[in-house]
Amino acid sequence: MGNAAIALAGLARLRDPESHGRLALSITDICIANPLSERAEPLAGEILVTLARKAEEKVRIAMAAALAECDWAPHGIVRFLAFDAPAVARDIILRSLRLTEADLVELTETRSLAHRCLIAERPGISGAVSDALCHRVEPDVMRALINNATASLTETGFTRCAEFAICDSDCGETLSRRHDLPEAIARKLYATVSATVRDQLLDRFNLDPAKIAPVAEFAAEAARADDGDTSAASLIEKLQFAGKLNPGFAVKTLSEGREIVFDHAIAALCGLSVDDWRKVLALSGARTLALACRAARIDRSIYPTVLRAMQKSGRIHDGIEDQAMAGAARIFRDYTPGKAHDSLRRMADSA
């Protein structure tokens, strides 16, 4: 095996793309033909990674498609391809049994939205992976996860999915059909989803209206909380204490025209006082809103909806929408949530 390794390493330095690609696919075929020994597996993985680093994307896609179906594929190359561009990673993420839970969590935390959407679609993901996927409350990821009936959900996962379903009735219906839906989550869904879904939950869980009433009353309080700053502040404080304040709730309140509640929600999510939030919004409308969305971990795809709602209410008057979108794109690209918070904090301190 030592001589073979030396020869293959030399071949991996081939500069002609076509020859390099053929070699990469040939070695891939050799590795998946028969199970490798414990000594050969890491070496084969290292050789394949060397080849993949210089291979064209179409070759890496073909390697991934072949290795995804192999139960003994070298872990090193499987992991390498999973962290590649989404087009390459797709088959590996969706089908390879060689990816570990730790690999999937790391992918979720460090790679792109497209990678997270693929992971959310993967059959049989664990509760730890689902929790990592829920962390950012990204709409596309949440929808994919809720629609993945084979995904395991922890108590935290169920709670975050239910909170997201408040803003998405289709997700509420899907979540309500899960065989492992806890009764506590069923009560939460009952208080927030359509009458049709409520009837389904009543039939399935034989829910006691007396137990549902406190949750429904809490939801009703949320709907009434636009009476003023005092009631809005009280609601947000309760949501924070219960661990239920999230980006989806903030966006929902704005879409419903409950601007006072939105102010308190977005301020809390950004770590600002509501007075500071209103000051910085008045200073630099569209930029402040983009920074706040980034700091609050509101998905970039939601920003145009948030911006238009604020413009419709007359709270943002920045001129051309295309310019606002371009500025927001730069903020979502260049700022981490922490950096966006710090920028808002400096704006508030200097106002």
Q: Which of 51-65, 174-188, 231-245 has the highest mean pLDDT?
A: 51-65
Nearest to 300 by CA among 94, 105, 115, 141: 141
* Residue 4 to residue 23: CA distance in whole angstroms: 14
Range in 38-42, 188-192, 232-236 the model is least confident about: 188-192
Please give the model's pTM, rounded to 2 decimal places: 0.61
* Average pLDDT value for residue range 300-307: 88
* Residue 212 to residue 58: CA distance in whole angstroms: 54
Range in 68-82, 294-308, 312-326 the model is least confident about: 312-326
Q: Is the pLDDT of residue 141 over 50?
A: yes
Range in 164-168, 244-248, 272-276 the model is least confident about: 164-168
Q: Which backbone phi and psi does 309 adopt, to 5 degrees? A: -65, -40
Q: Between 107 and 328, whose confidence is greater?
A: 107
Task: Identify the pLDDT of residue 254.
Answer: 87
Dump pLDDT digits (tens) for 215-237.
555 554 554 444 467 778 888 88
Q: Between 185 and 125, whose confidence is greater?
A: 125
Q: Between 47 and 11, whose confidence is greater?
A: 47
When pLDDT is cut at 50, 70 and 90, the band that residue 56 belongs to is: very high
* Residue 235 to residue 245: CA distance in whole angstroms: 10
Check: CB of residue 186 under 8 Å from CB of residue 165: no
